[in-house]
Amino acid sequence: MKSVNVAVIGVGAVGVEMLQILKQRNFPINRLRVFARHGRQIAVNDCSYNVEAIEGQEFDGIDIALFAGTEGEKGASSLYAQKFIEKGAIVIDNGADFRLKEGVPLVVPEVNEAKIYEHKGLIANPNCTTIQAVVALGGIYKQFGLEKFILTSFQATSGAGKRAAQGLWEETKSVVETNQNVEYDHLKKRIEIALESGFSHQIAFNIIPQIGSIGEEGYTTEEWKVIRETHKIMDNHSIRITATCARVPVFTSHSEAIYFKPHKKTAFSELEEVLQHTKGVKYFPHALPLPLDSEGTDEVFVGRLRRDPHEENSFWLWCVADNLRKGAALNAVQIAEHLLAKQ
């Protein structure tokens, strides 16, 4: 692959992960520029990066612009993506602004690689929860189709940004140091920490069964993302999908329990065979995939495959993946790698 000029926009949890992955994968960079709201120097794994304040900058000569974005938030791409495109860059956006926009490919390379090459200057990265689910189910869908699936997610705090993950740490220390003391002053302090973290409730030693705002039919914005993004990625709106998304006291890696019914009658052994050969999946037939084990890895770990004893041709699986890597930064870099490989 020829060397190209790359920009990374945003240096939060996902942006930092993008910088690490570009280096780890020896991405062919001629010149790298890093942008954020405020200019500064940052260090990532002993490498120093000059971060430029994005306001007022010129974007000439950039070939690929990776917008880091954060979970569910409108990001810099809404302000600057078109400016990069007008200067000749291809924008790969991890934010939520363009995922469902008509004419913008929503891509997970292991599932719908062909859509990458239909871009008009902008390619969208799906939500982390969606990416993990469609990789886990992608091979099954291609082989047997999907009639429906029901997803329950257990999502790490880092999905809401560095401040949220730090908030988990601060809350945990506060609870431990006070020895579970719920006197007013300590309780007030813990509530203040929770609010500073961006969560509506304490997350340490707790589960919050809401990610995003409550919307249509009582489902959250995060839950609707799973439904609508999966339909777009798989180019099939007939799949019946429903979801519950919860925030759990884990720093990194999302976990998902997925109940699914293939469209074609499928044997258990056939599902195992497909999972063993699905691109991007690491299948564990006899072990428990754990979020701690998947942290820092590129694959979606899948295990606990089992049939529903009461419903014909229906199954469960459990999957975990590093939400900052495959759920965000790595997926974007993989899209860029496919683009370069075609040039």
Q: Categorize the per-residue pLDDT at 72 as very low, low, confident or very high, splitting at 50, 70 and 90.
A: very low
CATH number at residue 310: 3.30.360.10
**Does a structural domain hold residue 141?**
yes
Residue 315 vs residues 87, 133, 140, 193: alpha-carbon distances, Å? 49, 14, 11, 40
Q: Does the pLDDT at position 166 exceed 70? A: yes
The whole-number average pLDDT for the span 36-56 is 94
Residues 10 and 122 in one domain: yes
Residues 151 and 236 in one domain: yes
- Number of Cβ within 10 Å of residue 44's Cβ equals 16
Residues 226 and 243 in one domain: yes
- Give the range of the structural domain holding residue 168, as residue numbers without chain letter: 160-197
Q: What residues are annotated to the active site?
A: 128, 254
Q: Categorize the per-residue pLDDT at 342 as very low, low, confident or very high, splitting at 50, 70 and 90.
A: confident
Residues 114 and 25 in one domain: yes
**Does a structural domain hold residue 218?**
yes
Lowest-confidence region among 81-85, 183-187, 192-196, 293-297: 183-187
pLDDT for the residue 71: 46
8 Å CB contact between 7 and 89: yes
The answer to whether the predicted template modeling score (pTM) of the entire model surpasses 0.95 is no
Sheet order of strands, 47-53 included: 40-44, 47-53, 29-36, 4-9, 64-67, 90-93, 122-124
**E-state strands within the chain:** 4-9, 29-36, 40-44, 47-53, 64-67, 90-93, 122-124, 146-155, 240-247, 254-262, 281-284, 300-307, 315-321
Looking at the structure of the chain, the number of domains it has is 3
For all residues of the chain together, what is the average pLDDT?
93
Residues 281 and 147 in one domain: yes
**Does a structural domain hold residue 42?**
yes
Residues 94 and 240 in one domain: no
Residues 227 and 287 in one domain: yes
Q: Categorize the per-residue pLDDT at 70 as very low, low, confident or very high, splitting at 50, 70 and 90.
A: low
Residues 55 and 169 in one domain: no
pLDDT for the residue 1: 74
Residues 140 and 31 in one domain: no
Q: For 246-273, write each residue's pLDDT tens digit.
A: 999 999 999 999 999 999 999 999 999 9
Lowest-confidence region among 170-179, 292-301, 314-323: 170-179
Residue 31 per-residue DSSP state:
E
How much of the chain, in percent, has pLDDT values that exceed 90?
Answer: 83
**Does a structural domain hold residue 178?**
yes
Q: Does the pLDDT at position 99 exceed 50? A: yes
**Does a structural domain hold residue 226?**
yes
Residues 106 and 180 in one domain: no
**Does a structural domain hold residue 114?**
yes
Q: Categorize the per-residue pLDDT at 194 as very low, low, confident or very high, splitting at 50, 70 and 90.
A: low
Residue 255 phi, psi dihedral angles, 5° rounding: -120, 145
Query: Rounded to an integer, what distance in angstroms lies between the CA atom of residue 322 and that of residue 159?
Result: 10
Residues 282 and 139 in one domain: yes
The whole-number average pLDDT for the span 103-117 is 98
**Does a structural domain hold residue 245?**
yes
Q: Does the pLDDT at position 129 exceed 90? A: yes
Residues 113 and 146 in one domain: no
**Residues 6 or more apart in contact with residue 287 via CB below 8 angstroms:** 303
Q: Does the pLDDT at position 303 exceed 70? A: yes
